[in-house]
């Protein structure tokens, strides 16, 4: 785990109440090769005026720069959205365990919902770099909440969009888009609302993994505030996850 300072290079509105933030390291520059940033990892941000850090997934990572995509849902994310370019943030990196791209042999299926979509982008890039086929199924409530669809189209072999109100793509949920297109895969990865991931894990017969979201205290394995029950006993989402194999999870 590393605690370091970052400067805000970008903090822009990209969809309803949703921002893209790019952070440039000021001191320690984490690297993927040394395991300081892994796929599906989250960072824990100290927001000025708040004691508890806010966990956000790493959407993209290049030469130490972190891209995050976050939605304003409460006071902490509101303050974050108002921070100016060149402002500074203290960030914890090197937390938890992320996605395993090696688990996929040839054909991957990525299923994301809402603010669960961002960490799948970096995963898609790494899977493509390994020569694997990537199909992404991305679900949103409505058109003005769609994020990163162009970025996914640039990277993936196939991108399917679903919206609950039918304004873009297949009308309904990610499972409706999957039922319509029947993508073939040997391994799946999912991140999104718990109810969506439960349905996805139950609907898909093949092996896969899911990135869970829990309310966090310390974010680093000390307080046990994020514990969940798994088939292998209690596990901390921040330290043992956030990514867990499908077969470990009890829904
Ligand atoms: C591993 C992980 C990755 C996440 N990645 C993203 C992301 O990429 N983009 C995004 O928009 N959101 C993400 N979230 C959710 C994000 O952390 C919360 O929306 C955010 O902490 C809310 O803070 P707030 O102060 O605005 O809300 P408030 O409701 O005011 O927060 C109050 C407290 O609850 C905690 N909290 C609130 N909601 C959550 C939550 N869902 N999960 C964990 N702690 C929460 C906050 O840390 C804070 O301590 C992620 C959560 C986790 C656990
Ligand atoms: S949030 Fe403290 S152990 Fe996970």
Mean pLDDT over 132-155 rounds to 98
Residue 74 to residue 72: CA distance in whole angstroms: 6
Mean pLDDT over 149-177 rounds to 97
Q: Which atom of ligand 2 is nearest to the CA of 239?
A: 4
3 state DSSP class of 121 = helix
177 C-alpha to ligand 1 centroid (Å): 27
240 C-alpha to ligand 2 centroid (Å): 10
Among protein residues, the one whose CA lies closest to atom 11 of ligand 1: 70
| pLDDT tops 90 at residue 248 | yes
**Contact call for residues 182 and 205 (beta carbons, < 8 A):** no
Domain positions in the chain:
2-93, 101-211
Q: The domain 2-93: what is its CATH number?
A: 2.40.30.10
26-35, 62-71, 170-179: range with lowest mean pLDDT: 26-35
Q: Which ligand has the minimum distance to the alpha carbon of residue 226?
A: 2
Helix (H) / strand (E) containing 250: none
> 105-132: per-residue pLDDT in tens?
999 999 999 999 999 999 999 999 999 9
Quick check: CB of 54 below 6 Å from ligand 1?
yes
Residue 32 to residue 36: CA distance in whole angstroms: 6
| pLDDT tops 90 at residue 226 | yes
CA distances from 7 to 33, 54, 75, 217 (A): 23, 17, 21, 24
| pLDDT tops 80 at residue 136 | yes
Quick check: CB of 67 below 6 Å from ligand 1?
no
Which residue stretches of the chain are H helix? 75-81, 118-129, 149-155, 174-181, 194-203
Asked if the domains 2-93 and 101-211 are classified in one and the same CATH topology, the answer is no
Using a cut of 0.85, tell me whether the model's pTM lies above it: yes
Quick check: CB of 118 below 6 Å from ligand 1?
yes
> 230-241: per-residue pLDDT in tens?
999 999 999 999
Q: The domain 101-211: what is its CATH number?
A: 3.40.50.80
Q: Which ligand has the minimum distance to the alpha carbon of residue 214?
A: 1
Report how far Cα 233 is from the mean position of its chain's Cα atoms: 24
Nearest Cα neighbor of 130 from 207, 210, 39 is: 39
220 C-alpha to ligand 1 centroid (Å): 15
**Contact call for residues 137 and 109 (beta carbons, < 8 A):** yes
122 C-alpha to ligand 2 centroid (Å): 24
Among protein residues, the one whose CA lies closest to atom 20 of ligand 1: 54
56 C-alpha to ligand 1 centroid (Å): 7
In the chain, the percentage of residues whose pLDDT exceeds 90 is 91
> 77-91: per-residue pLDDT in tens?
999 999 999 999 999
Quick check: CB of 42 below 6 Å from ligand 1?
yes
Q: CA 166, 150, 77, 17 torsion: positive or negative?
A: negative
Which residues lie closer than 8 Å to 140 by C-beta, 6 or more apart? Answer: 113, 114, 146, 147, 161, 162, 163, 164, 168
Please count the other Cβ atoms lying within 10 Å of the Cβ belonging to residue 49: 8
3 state DSSP class of 78 = helix
Mean pLDDT of the chain: 95
| pLDDT tops 70 at residue 71 | yes
At 35 the pLDDT is 66
CA distances from 78 to 72, 117, 143 (A): 5, 20, 22
3 state DSSP class of 26 = coil
Residue 32 to residue 72: CA distance in whole angstroms: 28
């Amino acid at each position: 785990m590393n605690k370091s300072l970052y400067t805000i290079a970008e903090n822009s509105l990209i969809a309803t109440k949703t921002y893209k933030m790019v952070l440039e390291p000021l001191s320690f520059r984490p690297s993927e090769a040394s395991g300081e940033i892994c796929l599906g990892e989250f960072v824990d941000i100290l927001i000025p005026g708040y004691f508890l850090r806010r966990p956000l997934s790493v959407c993209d990572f290049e030469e130490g720069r972190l891209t995050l995509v976050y939605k304003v849902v409460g006071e902490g994310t509101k303050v974050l959205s108002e921070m100016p370019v060149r402002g500074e943030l203290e960030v914890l990196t090197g937390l938890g365990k992320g996605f395993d791209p090696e688990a996929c042999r040839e054909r991957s299926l990525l299923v994301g919902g809402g603010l669960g979509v961002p960490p799948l982008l970096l995963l898609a890039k790494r899977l493509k770099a390994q020569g694997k086929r990537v199909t992404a199924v991305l679900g949103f409530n409505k058109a003005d909440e769609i994020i990163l669809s162009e970025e996914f189209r640039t990277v993936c072999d196939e991108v399917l969009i679903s919206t609950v109100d039918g304004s873009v793509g297949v009308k309904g949920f990610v499972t409706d888009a999957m039922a319509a297109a029947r993508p073939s895969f040997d391994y799946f990865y999912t991140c999104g609302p718990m109810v969506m991931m439960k349905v996805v894990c139950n609907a898909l017969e093949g092996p896969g993994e899911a990135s869970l979201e829990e309310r966090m205290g310390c974010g680093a394995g000390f307080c046990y505030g994020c514990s969940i029950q798994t088939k292998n006993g209690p596990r901390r989402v921040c330290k043992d996850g956030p990514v867990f194999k499908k077969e470990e999870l009890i829904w």
